[in-house]
Amino acid sequence: MPASNASFLNATRLNMHRLIMLRGVIMLALGLVMVSLRQAAVPLPVLPLSLAIAALGLFSLIAWWRLQHTAQTHQAISQLELLLQLLGDVLALSVLFYFSGGYSNPFIWMYLLPITVAAVALRAGYAWLIASLCITCYTLLMFYHVPLSHLHLHAQLADQDSVQLDIHLLGMWIGFVVSTVIVAIFIARIGQNLRDYDQAIAGVREQALESERMLALGTLATSAAHELGTPLATMAVVAKELSQDYAAQPELLQQLSLMQKQIARCKEILSSITRNAGLARAEAGAGLPLDAFISEALQRWRDTRPATELVVCMPKDTASPQVSMDRTLSQALLNLLDNAADESPARILFDAQWTDKLLTLNIRDFGQGLSQETKQKIGTPFFSSKQADGMGLGVYLTQITLARYDGELSFNNHAEGGVLTTVKLPLAKLKVSS
């Protein structure tokens, strides 16, 4: 299910839940008013009013059961169900107002509640249906209702003077207080629900743009891998022939050996691009210890950057979990090491620590550090702090790779100079299941 549809259906569930709470407030207010008027000896048709309030409670129980049932069966709450619930509210309120004074009932404003909920939670057609029905019921109550005698309540003040309180005006005051609480709590929450939905839509759009960008990069990478295969094969043949021709010159052979390793690495990178990522992960099979994976990746990097001293610190007395990873994760580590070596060609520090749940990697270079502008833009595609040969994709692709495993990547200037690159990677998605 697309994220946008899931967010929309989740919003409908939240609105149904809030409708249940809204009914609870209405039932409590109506019940208190009935009890108060009965205590004041105001004649009321208790049975039909009680049945109307009970009907609201029954609708809430049905709605609650539907929420529980759909949550267990992973079904959706449709707008039609919410519409039927609101229609039930209108019916129950109409019965209640019919037996308690009709249009003169001070709580007649409660018709606005289902209208408001429908306006913010349902499509336009359903909202207009609820609005039209409420207008119709209000109009009919002007002509058809059971009138109530307009009695007065008497309250004794401290000085024993007596003051008359009109029931209708008192009801209007209670109605204002209740409506204020309802609007402040429930309608505000429904509005927040809509804002959350808008944010979810914006997030989906951003993810779609990110996917399109990655698809474009993947297409370019595949095309480049196809075109570079032949030149690399030619270079490998020439380097091998030169090694045979100059077998008596050790210094030249050492340089040719380095060239062959670089060519082999380029061919390996191109193969990993064209290889199916799922198959690459499947090839990992039962996996390997985490320290072995890190050591293997570091050795691959040392072979390509022998001039840079890499000082490694890893725990030796801590159990190493079995992990299974595809090559993109090791390539992400190599990208970070390359960036550090570009800034600090002589020496970089690498520290790895892990627990049962988290792997933390720290890479420190001894370069000039990050400017404020670079720190803000680093990780955006095609932005590079390198003057000439930077493509601006290494950190960006590393972030994408780590995001697949819920990892975090951060860059901070070290107090003693240089940049400290920190990777935090949860091991839950990397451990091999037993």
Q: Which structure tokens are listed for 78?
A: 């449709």
Q: What angle do CA 49, 52, 54 make, to 5 degrees?
A: 110
The pLDDT assigned to 10 comes to: 64
Torsion of CA 58, 61, 66, 72, to 10 degrees: -160
Domain ranges of the chain: 3-208, 211-274, 286-426
* Closest by CA position to 350, among listed 336, 338, 362: 362
Q: Which structure tokens are listed for 376?
A: 């803000």
The pLDDT assigned to 310 comes to: 92
The pLDDT assigned to 254 comes to: 84
Handedness of CA 365, 371, 377, 383 (dihedral sign): negative
Burial label, 131 (beta-carbon count in 10 A; 0-12, 13-18, 19+): middle
Q: Which structure tokens are listed for 139?
A: 């109009």
The pLDDT assigned to 420 comes to: 92
The pLDDT assigned to 8 comes to: 46
Helices 327-343/290-304 angle, 10° precision: 50
The pLDDT assigned to 282 comes to: 41
Is residue 367 within 8 A of residue 343, CB to CB? The reply is yes
Q: Which structure tokens are listed for 202?
A: 């914006």
- Grouping H, G, I as helix, E, B as strand and the rest as coil, residue 100 is coil
Q: Which fold has domain 286-426?
A: Heat Shock Protein 90 (3.30.565)
Handedness of CA 92, 96, 98, 99 (dihedral sign): positive
Residue written as token pair 């050996």: 257
Give the whole-angstrom CA distance, residue 290 versus residue 295: 9
The pLDDT assigned to 240 comes to: 84
First to last CA, the chain: 30
* Closest by CA position to 226, among listed 237, 238, 235, 218: 218
Q: Which structure tokens are listed for 124?
A: 């336009």
User: DSSP assignment, residue 358?
Assistant: E
* Predicted TM-score of the model (pTM): 0.48
Torsion of CA 166, 170, 172, 177, to 10 degrees: 170
Q: What is the DSSP string of 11-27?
A: HHHHHHHHHHHHHHHHH
Other CB atoms within 10 Å distance of the CB of residue 148: 19
Residue written as token pair 């050492």: 254
* Closest by CA position to 182, among listed 22, 12, 17: 22
The pLDDT assigned to 272 comes to: 65
Give the whole-angstrom CA distance, residue 419 versus residue 370: 7
Q: pLDDT tens string for the chain (434 positions)?
A: 444 444 445 677 878 888 888 888 888 888 887 887 777 666 778 888 899 999 999 999 999 998 888 888 878 788 899 999 999 999 999 999 999 888 888 888 888 888 888 887 888 899 999 999 999 999 999 999 888 754 444 443 344 444 445 666 666 777 777 777 777 776 677 677 778 778 878 877 877 776 676 666 666 666 666 667 778 888 888 888 888 888 888 888 888 888 888 888 787 777 766 654 444 444 444 578 888 888 988 988 888 788 889 999 998 877 788 887 667 788 888 889 988 888 888 999 999 999 888 899 999 999 888 888 777 777 676 666 665 555 566 787 788 888 888 888 999 998 888 899 999 998 887 776 55
* Closest by CA position to 263, among listed 297, 242, 239: 239
Other CB atoms within 10 Å distance of the CB of residue 368: 13
- Grouping H, G, I as helix, E, B as strand and the rest as coil, residue 366 is coil
Sequence-ordered strand ranges (E) for 195-354:
288-289, 309-313, 322-323, 347-354
The pLDDT assigned to 364 comes to: 93
User: DSSP assignment, residue 390?
Assistant: -
Is residue 30 within 8 A of residue 178, CB to CB? The reply is no
Give the whole-angstrom CA distance, residue 273 versus residue 336: 18
The pLDDT assigned to 90 comes to: 94
Give the whole-angstrom CA distance, residue 328 versus residue 126: 50
* Closest by CA position to 362, among listed 343, 348, 377: 348
